[in-house]
Structure 1
Amino acid sequence: MVDERNFRSTYYEKVGCRSVEEKKSLNILLKDRPLNRIKLKQFCLSFTVPTAERSLLWNLILGIMPVYTNSTKYVKDQREEAYEDVLRAVKIMRYVDEKTPRSRVFYVMWLLENKKLHSDVNIYQDSNFVNIVEVLLQTFESDYEVYWVAKEFYAFTVEIQNDFPKLKELTFNLLEKEDAELYSHLEKHDILQHIPLESWYANCFASTISEPALIRIWDKICGGSRKIVVFVFLVLLKTLKMNFMRCNDLKQFCDHMEKKTEDQDDLIVKQAIEVWQNNKNHNEFMVHHKNN
């Protein structure tokens, strides 16, 4: 039954039918007054988000734009003004200048808003927030939108990080069950427990998988799924299994990760979404973020 459904979905995608039907469904949802965030999240979980509609969908789902469309312009103006105020503040305080990378500028702005900016802060330290911004800069057009989306998406990553013990246990259990050979090899060479899994899950693979493919995973996270990160990792292991089976230490493992190609990233994401969708319990770790 699963194979038949996958074949049918693939066929529809090839002839363009599926995308047309999905766009029709989305257009119907966007005509609701007021807009229904729960239904829009469900769309992100169930279908491929059209590139042209991603900005609108994310802004609505993340609560950046209102569900009452007659207030959209006012709220948008307020968001832009707030962005400009914070940007002006960090420039006046001389934490950033014209040479500071935008991702770092946004990081400083976020620190200021969250009362974490102090005189000895190192704005070039490792940060999940920065990694997220660098992906979003390739996805959205305006700086103010990137900043607002980054702030709200980062909240999802904090929830994923809080759930990491459960996600890690699920990851290792599934790996041992589905590929005992690879599991045993990684355990034998003391690699599995030292893989930077928490970091990858916490930034939703922002520093591991390239943007064109990764953003489709983030659509599902915006829709409310934390558990999808587990399937991304499992499919990643499966895709690069032959390389990983030759690894004798963590460095070799990480070297193979860095040599991945964008084509491999695209395949990993496509298969991870398929496996996640076919998993009966994929709603186990649903996130209910700003449903109102």
Structure 2
Amino acid sequence: MAQADERNFRSQYYEKMGFRCVEEKRSLEPLLRETPVDGARLAQFVRLHLVPGIYRPLVWRLLLKVQPCHPEAAEFVAARRRETATDTFHWLRVLRNVTDETPWPLVFWLGWLLNTYRLAHMLPDEILRQDECPQLQVAQLVMDLFDDQTDQFFVCCRLWQLQREALDALPGQLAWLAAQLEREDPPLAAHLAALGLLADGTLLAGWISRLFCGVLPSSSVERVVDKLVAGAERILPLTGASLLITHRRALLAVEDPSAARALLDKVVEEDTDRVVSRALDLWAKQSKV
């Protein structure tokens, strides 16, 4: 009991002093030093704990299977990935979908569409409009986090696949969001239901399409994506529920759905830590059930 009390005091002290990841770093390092890395144990750790920023790129590469857990296969896999990325970018130029001036987020997105056989079924005008896709914000987040272009491309592709799976499961995601609102804030849930704000799933789908990029700052989005890459897909509706609860006072004062949507497009930056912290707390609470 004394050890547990000491650990809790130490954790609270680190959190107050801004070092919430100190103990997580000590726990994570042995997992990453294993040969091979145990992907299941790593994912379990990430679902339950914070990921120190210094290890985030490596953790994402491992959990997204961009980098193999067996070190002896890393060089071979990296070479094959470079070949695939080079071929993809080459064919995009041959097809005249990109030029040397095309921004890399758009190149990556078109490359994903090409490799998933979606680009072949798109009309020319539709391809030209892809520079407006919210998914490009995800690519920019990845480019800010990773230095290697091949890593950037494949991490983007893996995240877009997770995002696509979440959108395919939108009815279930929406039901989970509504259930959290009913549990945490019944008056707000009733008000949003009266406004019809969640009925068609448009709001949540918009957030999922960009993985909250542009809604929350990058540092907050990274913490959400940590859970997503570890298999906690419910972190997306939980973050949506947290976003709504954090702005409950303003939302309860709004009687027009379009005004409510506009309000949620202008999240105050100082509120974002509360949004993600509440979402992670909700996730932790649900994980114990």
TM-score tier after normalising by the smaller chain length: 0.7 to 0.9
* More moved, 245-254 vs 12-21: 12-21
Contact in 2 for aligned 1:65/1:75 (Cα 8 Å) = yes
**Is 1:137 matched up with 2:137?**
no
Pair 169,7 (structure 1): closer, same or farther in 2 beyond 3 Å: farther
Cα deviation code 1:68-99 (max 9, x no counterpart): 11222232222122212211221232111122
Cα 1:94–1:174 shift into 2, 3 Å: same
Question: Within 5 Å, which residues of 2 pair with 1:145-184?
Answer: 145-184=151-190
Amino acid at match of 2:211: C
| TM-superposed deviation, 1:17 | 7.0
Structure 1 residue 39 displacement after superposition:
1.1
Q: How many Å apart are 1:38 and its aligned residue?
A: 0.6
CA distance in 1, matches of 2:62, 2:33: 13
Letter in 1 for 2:236: V
Q: C-alpha displacement at 1:161, in angstroms? A: 2.0
Query: For structure 2, which runs of at least 5 residues remain unmatched after alignment?
Result: none
The more displaced of 186-195 and 247-256 is 186-195
Structure 2 residue 129 is the aligned partner of structure 1 residue 124:
yes
Q: CA deviation at 1:141?
A: 2.1
What amino acid maps onto 1:241 in structure 2?
A: R
Q: Is the 8 A contact 1:235 1:271 kept in 2?
A: yes
CA shift, 1:220, in A, is 0.4
Contact in 1 for aligned 2:82/2:150 (Cα 8 Å):
yes
Report if the CA contact (8 A) 1:160-1:226 is conserved. Answer: yes
8 Å contact kept, 2:204–2:237:
no
CA distance in structure 2 between the partners assigned to 1:188 and 1:159 by the alignment? 29
Kept in 2: contact 1:191–1:250 (CA 8 A): yes
The CA deviation at 1:268 is 0.6
- Scaled by the length of structure 1, the TM-score of the pair is 0.86
Query: CA 1:259 to 1:129, structure 2 compared with 1: closer, same or farther past 3 Å?
Result: closer
Identity %: 27
Greater relative contact order (Cα < 8 A, sep 6+)? 1
* Residue correspondence of structure 1 range 58-97 to structure 2 within 5 A: 58-97=60-99
Pairwise CA distance, 1:37: 0.7
Select the residue among 189, 192, 196 that pairs with 1:190: 196
CA shift digits 1:204-243 (9 cap, x unpaired): 3234222111110000011110111222112111111111
Q: Are the aligned partners of 2:238 and 2:279 in contact in 1 as well (CA < 8 Å)?
A: yes
In structure 2, the partner of 1:219 is 226
Partner of 1:28: 30
8 Å CA contact 1:228–1:273 kept in 2: the answer is yes
8 Å Cα contact 2:215-2:266 kept in structure 1: no
Pairing 1:223-262 to 2, within 5 Å after superposition: 223-262=230-269
3-state SS of paired residue (2:29)? helix
Distance 1:263 1:233 in 2: 17
**From 104, 107, 126, the counterpart of 1:105:** 107
> Which one has the bigger helix percentage?
2
Offset, 1:262: 2.3
The offset of 1:134, in angstroms, is 2.6
Q: CA RMSD in A?
A: 2.4
Q: Deviations over 1:12-71 (max 9, x none)?
A: 333577533322222211221111111111121122111111111111111111121122
> Matches of 1:273 and 1:247 in 2, distance apart?
27
CA contact (8 A) 2:61 2:67 kept: yes
The alpha-carbon distance between structure 1 residues 177 and 42, as it changes in their structure 2 partners (threshold 3 A), is closer
Asked whether the 8 Å contact 1:175–1:183 carries over to 2, the reply is yes
Runs of 4+ aligned structure 1 residues displaced above 4 Å come to 4-8, 15-18
Pick closer, same or farther for the CA change 1:209–1:279 going to 2, 3 Å.
Answer: same
- Alignment of 1:210 onto 2:204: no
After superposition, the C-alpha distances for 1:165-213 in whole angstroms (9 at most, x for unaligned) are: 1221222233133322212222333333255222323443234222111
**Retained in 1: the 8 A contact 2:21–2:51?**
no
**AA matched with 2:286:** N
> Are 2:217 and 2:269, in contact at CA under 8 Å, matched by a contact in 1?
yes
Aligned to 2:48: 46
Return the letter of the residue paired with 2:139.
V
Alpha-carbon offset, residue 281 of structure 1:
5.6
Deviation (angstroms), 1:280: 4.2
- 8 Å Cα contact 2:174/2:198 also seen in 1: no
- Distance in 2 of aligned mates of 1:206 and 1:226: 16
CA distance in 1, matches of 2:50, 2:104: 29
Trace 1:276-287 onto structure 2 (pairs within 5 A).
276-280=283-287
